[in-house]
Amino acid sequence: MSKYDIIVLGSGPGGYVTAIRASQLGFKTAVVEKENLGGVCLNWGCIPTKALLKSAQVFEYLKHAGDYGLSVTDYDKDFSAVVNRSRGVANGMSKGIEFLMKKNKIDVIKGYGKLKPGKKIDVDGTEYSADHIIIATGARSRELPSLPQDGKKVIGYREAMSLPNQPKKMIVVGSGAIGVEFAYFYNSMGTEVTIVEFLPNVVPVEDEDVSKQLEKSFKKSGIDIMTSAEVTKVDTSGNGVKATVKTKDGEQVLEADIILSAVGIKSNIENIGLEDVGIVVDRDKILVNNFYQTNMPGYYAIGDVTPGQALAHVASAEGILCVEKIAGLHVEALDYGNIPGCTYCYPEIASVGLTEKQAKDKGLDIKVGKFPFSASGKASASGNKDGFVKVIFDAKYGEWLGCHMIGAGVTDMIAEAVLGRKLETTGHEVLKAIHPHPTMSEAVMEAVADAYDEVIHL
């Protein structure tokens, strides 16, 4: 039996990052992976979707070349080539992870891993043991009883990334990050898209102003949106698919070629031996302490299988924290109130901290500032005037409570707010930090100025 200091079960952005950090700290490390290195995020999620979205963005530029004084008379799309480019990007990144495993002298054990008592893992009949076993098995597309996925007419995100043919009509059920990203992509490619959202607002976890702006932008681009609506039944017996949708005005039947179910994720915790080991699970999540130790000594869990936010950068941070704690380093528990969330449709969405409603519900006395990109010189010059930056501060102490952005490139701007909040900066400090002109990022300073009644360009 091979013996390791640390074995990581799963090689997604939680697992492979954990393994590399463990190796850097001097641990003899192995990773168990049943498919491709990089997990869902790298192979079927974060990375290939961004490649698809870039193709959609370029296609949008071609369609609107005249807005920039350019004449492009002959252009078209090749849907298969767009998909193949995305797959090529993912494959290249996966090979990059293989290189990192070799560079860091991490053993990659291919196969299906199952936990065993006594800090062991069985991989297709071969047992391995370790002083510490870290579970990082991630999650998959969640299925609703009323919306069973057949992989052909009712699909999840994985099939949506590699369809052989572009559908003429698509229904997207759910308007979280996955739903709106694919809605934007397929709409940009020319598919007629309808979004069905159970809650009153699209992207319901976001600040309400952001939700309203995205709905306005999506409708302007031709996407139909149904909120406070529920798919109660699907009929796949014909050539396409029919969805019965219940709304406050009654039922209606929508017809399409394909339904994309984007109603959330399901943790991959079945059949990995949790029951055999005695690891406690609650509501589809493995329970852990602040440093990701389960109730069973020597077994840990990170990423989507734990109660924190199901985001790639969260899984990576948790894994690093976990192994640094094992190594005896001085570490602080992760601040889950300062985790940025990003959605890569157009306009992009990025946020961190409290929404305006959450701040008010807490009874806080707040200052709110908002700066529209329509008043930004850089946004006007680039032709990306949709959206805004919104900031929320504590009125008494100037604490930066929340930041919410929607617009072009905002996913690259949100880190300023994350770092500022981490360093406990105040509104006046942000306001007096000089931001370069002309940039999209100066909208952050302008929004702060608006909160303190000092805005210049609005």
Question: For residue 213, what are the contacts with CB-CB under 8 A and spacing of at least 6?
Answer: 347, 386, 387, 388, 406
C-alpha closest to that of 7 among 430, 326, 235, 240: 326
Cis omega (within 30 of 0) for bond into 117? no
Q: How far is CA 413 from the centre of its chain?
A: 16
Strand partners, 196: 173, 226
Cis amide linkage into residue 347, ω under 30° from 0: yes
Task: Give the DSSP H or E segment for 349.
Answer: strand 348-353
**SS3 (DSSP) at 343:** strand
Per the CB < 8 A criterion, the answer to whether 400 and 426 are in contact is: yes
Catalytic residue at 437?
Answer: yes
- Report how far residue 209's alpha carbon sits from residue 366's, in angstroms, rounded to the nearest whole number: 16
Tell me which residue of 313, 312, 310, 332 sits closest to 321, measured CA to CA.
332
Instruction: Tell me how far apart the alpha carbons of residues 332 and 426 are, in angstroms, rounded to a whole number.
Output: 23
Angle at 300 between CA 295 and CA 306, to 5 degrees: 85
**SS3 category, 434:** coil
What gap in Å lies between CA 443 and CA 457, rounded to an integer?
10
Q: Please, is 394 exposed, middle or buried when counting C-beta atoms within 10 Å of its C-beta (0-12, 13-18, 19+)? A: middle
Query: From CA 195, how far away is CA 223, in angstroms rounded?
Result: 7
Check: CB of residue 402 under 8 Å from CB of residue 421. Answer: no
Give the phi and the psi of residue 264 in degrees, each rounded to 5.
Answer: 115, -170
Residue 367 β-bridge partners: 393
Catalytic residue among 132, 313, 435, 437: 437
φ and ψ of 128, to 5 deg: -130, 150
- Asked whether 331 and 301 are in contact (CB, 8 A), the reply is no
**C-alpha 22: how far from chain center:** 25
**Helix (H, G, I), strand (E, B), or coil: what is residue 73?**
coil
Work out the burial of residue 360: count CB atoms within 10 Å of its CB; fewer than 13 is exposed, 13-18 middle, 19 or more buried. Answer: middle
The catalytic residues are: 437
